[in-house]
Chain A
Amino acid sequence: MSSSYLVHAITDKAAHIWRYTSWKKAHPTGSIEDIPESNSPEISISLVDGKSIPEGISIDEATDLDIERLGHELDFDNGTAAPKFISAVVPKVYKFSIKDKLKIESPLLVKITTTGDICTVRLLIDIGNQVEAEIITIIEGDAKWTGILREGKYGANSIVNDVVTQITGSRLLRCDALSLGRDAQVKAGTVNASSSQAKIDIRHWLSEPGSSLKVNGSILSSNQDHLDSHIEITHTGRETHSRLEWHSACGGKSNTTGTGMLRIDAGAKGADAGQLFHNLLLSKKAKANSIPELEVLESEVVGCGHGTANGPLDEQQLFYLSTRGFDEHQARAALIAAFLNTPLSDMGSQQLHGWLIERIENHLNTI
């Protein structure tokens, strides 16, 4: 594994995913040829409602066969250094699986608790066919640098809301590489509330006909945070549908970047895809960058589009709230919360939404 990483370690800054956070900056030691010792985090699963875990859900150490079947790291055509690095340093590879046809009533919590200087995990995700589930993955703990590689597949006809909340205060490198089965309906959410430096690379492949994906991001940055998210969606199957809505509220002296790549391969007839980046700039020293890219190689598409909007809080809305008795601080907080809530409310059920709101409310006050 390590030799495979070293072969790919040299990355090109011209590739837009490394333009704002070089691999050197994302690497835990800054010396890109270094493959340091790493801890393994504690991983536990539970249900939000406190009931016992239904049969058919498990987290085990992965076998070589699992890695071969579910691993996607080789599918990264650029930015390949990050997933290969995590593969090279992880002490253990885990497989999280939900068996076919399982319907889970309450959101499932997958808690990843990190420790030590450097903590990494490679988690293979194997969601069976016709599964209906809401999964909340929480990344927390006190490791100084955390690396997470999530790879795998959502089975055919599955309906999955898969939310990752990053409430670790450490530096974070996260790579997701997931493919959707035939007619799968997936909502993939990301909530960031306290990472000081994060490089996130989320990739989905809609390779089977009829699959549908919604990627939502609700990103809060403050102080000196540096948050760089790259979201890549590739349509290769026919009649596939995807939407991306990424909201970033940027305060303090934070630097927030959202890069998107929406690729419609030749043969993906009937693809319908769109991506939107919204940045709310809350302070004079905050900075926001958006690069929503589009590559379309198929003419028979329903439509492909992208958009980005950057702006301050709306003065008229602030004025309206002040006429209703809000002081300036309350009015700003309400508008920021509403802005972040738009993608948040679309990530899953009321129960999941309520859980998320509870967790990030405290962080809103930091702005």
Chain B
Amino acid sequence: MSEDARSAVGDYKAGWHDPENATIRFDFGLSEQVVRDISALKNEPEWMTELRVKAFHHFNERPMPTWGNMHMLEEIDFDKVCYYLRSSDSTEKNWDDVPEDIRNTFDRLGIPEAEQKWLSGVTAQYESEAVYHSIREDLEEQGVIFLDMDSGLREYEAIVKKYFCSVVPYADNKFSALNTAVWSGGSFIYVPSGVHVEMPVQAYFRINAKNMGQFERTLIIADEGSSVHYVEGCTAPTYSTDSLHSAVVELIALPGAHIRYSTVQNWSANVYNLVTKRGIAHEKATIEWIDGNIGSKLTMKYPAVILKGEGSHAEVISVAYSGKGQHQDAGAKIHHLASNTTSKILSKSISKNGGRGSYRGMVTVSPKAENCKVNVVCDALLLDEESRSDTYPTMEVGNSGARCEHEASVSKVSDDQLFYLMSRGHSEEEALALIVNGFFEPFTRELPMEYAVELNQLMALEMEGSIG
């Protein structure tokens, strides 16, 4: 690791990398041929190939966003990204069959152990492809489908064709077009009517190679009255050059269904994380995004819910930590299209060592959506003089019966709280870490316990050296 990279990422503990043992590695750069080659390699149906090509042309034509951190976005060199890299020839169902170096990586990240203890199923993606995949037998027997996206397309083409790009069209934005053109890996989940997946299913995304682009595609369909909790985590090694992660996630909650999607994003500080996440909630369905952004160089991510069915509900709870050289531009979007729909957004951010945290949100209430209720709360903590916090909320209300509230505040850590904790024997650093963990508590309490503990440890690590 170069000195520059080391100073940029500090104590990032998932920053090691393994030797690159690629079985297939595409050259840097993107062209129509690369897109067609990815599709051919996966032996995809023609409609998918054509969709990829259309998306590729749209990506080329679409300018970069003229909002957000334009300076950082302009630094992305799409010609210096590897768009496909395969390190394992197949997706295994047994960890013993996964190539040893990759298995060791996931061992170090604690994934197999977590799977045994508290997960219903796991997908582990390494570079462009899923290397391991499993689901508990009892769920399989109940008809739950949990596959990597490529297998999903092969085995359930009709379902995938029906829902793919139905929530996030390829032309939605420049990065959804890029993802649609070169997507590889990700998860495909279908939960049949009335089935409740009690324990979470997990996907873990790991980038190992330099200048790598990871473009997973996730599609989750919860049929009527079903429920599922999906957890994703992500890490990458620390390099002095940048990597690109541009995922698309589509959720479909059919009437009465409940989908919770939890993310703890801990990319290294050289990763651009430009993700489009959106769900559609039908009658009385609920979609919840629980979103933690700790790592990455630039994150631009605004989990969205379209409340299409009457009585549906959306909830977005997000936290962001921005350290040196980082910009977490995160937020939420909720569109109330139907009557009696409710939504709640809670966003918390902390900026330190010159980091920048931005909340960017949008709530719309359509003229025909009667009796909607919206509550948005954003809180930000600035820990030092170099850091910055922004809030850019938008509310468009087209129905006179809607009740919409938004409040936001930016503050520093209270001297009184620090003094109180220090008078009880904590060092200033410990006291600060406790206050920060307390600030994030509304988020951590919604996470599975193991993730919450991990997040608290991560935050304690980030707080080290923050005093003096």
Tell me the number of A-to-B contacts counted with CB atoms below 8 Å: 119
User: How many Å lie between the Cα of A22 and that of B392 in the bound state?
Assistant: 19
Q: Which residues of A contact B409 (CB under 8 A)?
A: 303-305
Minimum CB–CB distance from A250 to chain B (whole Å) comes to 8
Quick one: which of B128-174 are within 8 Å of A by CB?
Answer: none
Residue in A closest to B356 when the chains form the complex, CB atoms:
A297
Q: By the criterion CB–CB under 8 Å, are B410 and A291 in contact?
A: no
Interface set, chain B 400-431, CB cutoff 8 A to A: 400-412
In contact, A301 and B412 (Cβ under 8 angstroms): yes
Question: Considering the chains assembled together, what is the distance between the CA atoms of A309 and B400 in angstroms?
Answer: 12
Shortest beta-carbon distance, B207 to chain A, in Å? 30
Taking a contact as CB atoms under 8 Å apart, the answer to whether B406 and A292 are in contact is: yes
Please tell me if B47 contacts chain A, counting CB pairs below 8 Å. Answer: no
Q: Is B410 within 8 A of A310, CB to CB?
A: no
Residues of B within 8 A of A37 (CB): none
Minimum CB distance partner of A274 in chain B: B409
Given contacts A296-B380, A298-B385, A299-B383, contact A306 B395 (CB under 8 A): no
The answer on a CB contact under 8 Å between B385 and A266 is yes
A266–B405 CA distance with the chains assembled, in angstroms? 29
For residue B33, CB closer than 8 A to chain A, the reply is: no
B382 x A296 contact (CB < 8 A): yes
Determine if A287 and B367 form an interchain contact, defined as CB atoms under 8 angstroms apart.
Answer: yes
Q: Is the CB of A312 within 8 A of B411?
A: no
* A14 in complex: contacting residue of B67, B396, B400, CB < 8 Å: B67
Task: Report yes or no: A294 in contact with B390, Cβ–Cβ below 8 A.
Answer: yes
- Decide: A281 and B411 in contact? CB cutoff 8 A: no
**A303 in contact with B411 (CB, 8 Å):** yes
Question: Within the complex, what minimum Cβ distance (angstroms) separates B292 from chain A?
Answer: 22
* Interface size in chain A (residues, C-beta < 8 A): 37
Given contacts A299-B385, A299-B387, contact A307 B405 (CB under 8 A): yes
- Point out the residue from A14, A287, A291, A310 that lies within 8 Å of B393, measured CB to CB: A291
Please name the residue on chain A nearest to B382 by beta carbon: A299
Name the A residues within 8 Å of B383 (CB-CB): 299
Check B397 for interface membership: any CB of A closer than 8 A.
yes
Whether the Cβ atoms of A291 and B395 lie closer than 8 Å is yes
Q: Report the Cα distance A288→B67, complex, angstroms.
A: 23
Interfacial chain B residues near A325, Cβ < 8 Å: none
Contact in complex: A310, B408 (CB < 8 Å): no
Q: A264 to B385, alpha carbons, bound, how many Å? A: 12
- The interface residues of chain B lying within 8 Å CB-to-CB of A286 are 400
- Chain A contacts with B in 275-320, Cβ cutoff 8 A: 279, 281-301, 303-312
B273 at the interface (CB under 8 A from A): no
Cα-based distance from A285 to B384 in the complex (angstroms): 47
Given A303-B410, A307-B407, A307-B408, 20 extra CB contacts under 8 A: A12-B66, A16-B394, A281-B397, A281-B401, A287-B397, A296-B380, A296-B389, A296-B390, A299-B385, A299-B387, A300-B412, A301-B411, A303-B411, A304-B411, A306-B406, A306-B408, A307-B406, A308-B404, A310-B403, A312-B401
B residues contacting A by CB (< 8 A) are: 65-67, 367, 380, 382-385, 387-412
Enumerate 21 A-B pairs (CB-CB under 8 Å) in ascending A order. A282-B400, A283-B400, A284-B399, A286-B400, A287-B398, A290-B393, A290-B397, A290-B406, A292-B393, A293-B392, A294-B391, A295-B390, A299-B412, A300-B385, A301-B412, A304-B409, A305-B408, A307-B407, A310-B397, A310-B404, A312-B403
- A binding-site residues for B, Cβ under 8 Å: 12, 14, 16, 264, 266, 279, 281-301, 303-312
Question: Top 7 closest A-B pairs, CB basis?
Answer: A281-B400, A299-B382, A305-B409, A294-B391, A307-B407, A310-B404, A14-B66
